[in-house]
Amino acid sequence: MRLAYFSALEQYDPQTALKHAVEAEKAGFSLIGASDHFHPWVHKGDQAAFAWVWLASLAERTVRVRVGTCVTAPLLRYHPGLVAQAFATLGALYPGRIFLAVGAGEALNESPLGYPWPGRRERLERLEEAIRVIKLLWTSDFVDFQGKYYRLRKAKLYTKPGKPVPLYVSAGGLRMAELAGRLADGLITNMGAFARHGRKILEAFQAGWKGRAGEPFTSIVLHVSYHEDYEEALRAIRRWAPVLVPKVFQEDIYDPREVEAYGEKVSLERLEAIHLVASEPEQIIRRIENLEKQGFTCVFLSNSSPQPEKFLEVCRRQILPYFEEERGKGRP
């Protein structure tokens, strides 16, 4: 089990998010993933820093931790060739420390820039084609590519990554999970998707991976709000209610005020059932252990605590040392 830190750039201003991420490396996290959004999930008090710029700043301020997006949608506002160039450059600057996670995106990141929001089938087709484009540019020279959605004409990346950049796919459904197993180096999912599909999402990934060499990376993002006062922790997690509304992923909903309104209809019971509200460190450990038993090899912890620095300190003192000790005992 590897523990990763999820930096929600819609939740914190970029300076504060950087401070937290630097502390996350000191605490012992092995990866740091950053959300990549144009609009945030809620309107009141939110941010929306540009993830690629922020990641370069984070990589410069850290030493060993691997950093990347969770996740980038290389479909509309980002041409996949541009994504390939950006992460090749990051990989050249910070060899062995960069990863890229891609997904089919949300309307809140594309529609505000004037792009028509495609249906689910087209988004899946676009993502599959985009992954092919990114891989070709990372490994080949003077690429000609004629796809249904993207074209390359003798395209060559003159700056390639110093070491291979792992490519992960974010999956909220079974078809996307199968694609992740077939084309990517690993899977990232979320608690809402896992609540809907259970282990089937991992089984779909494994079906796609069948016959491939190497050890697959299977990860999940867990939003955590930790505080000794449970009610205060519960209030803090409400900001993540919109991610439990499937409608905002599937339809052309892109105004954060509207997305926020959908989130307000999510019950506290559903928030508690899917996100993690904890008043004791042991509750966090138990949830991570349960996800490990389900088959995940990595958990991204999103810090939604009322006092985020306190959560990072608990991770440094208790949570990460616990899993280091268990690994030392020979646990898988």
57/48 Cα distance (integer angstroms): 16
Q: How many C-beta atoms surround the C-beta of residue 289 within 10 A?
A: 16
Which residues are within 8 A (CB) of 97 and not within 5 positions of it... i.e. 6 or more apart?
59, 64, 65, 66, 67
Choice among 20, 37, 39, 227 that is catalytic: 37
DSSP element (H, E) containing 155: strand 151-155
Choice among 106, 110, 128, 260 that is catalytic: 106
> Is 106 part of the annotated catalytic residue set?
yes
Which residues are within 8 A (CB) of 323 and not within 5 positions of it... i.e. 6 or more apart?
1, 3, 285, 288
65/24 Cα distance (integer angstroms): 9
Pair 32, 65: CB distance under 8 Å = yes
> Is 37 part of the annotated catalytic residue set?
yes
DSSP element (H, E) containing 326: helix 320-328
* Active site positions, annotated: 37, 106
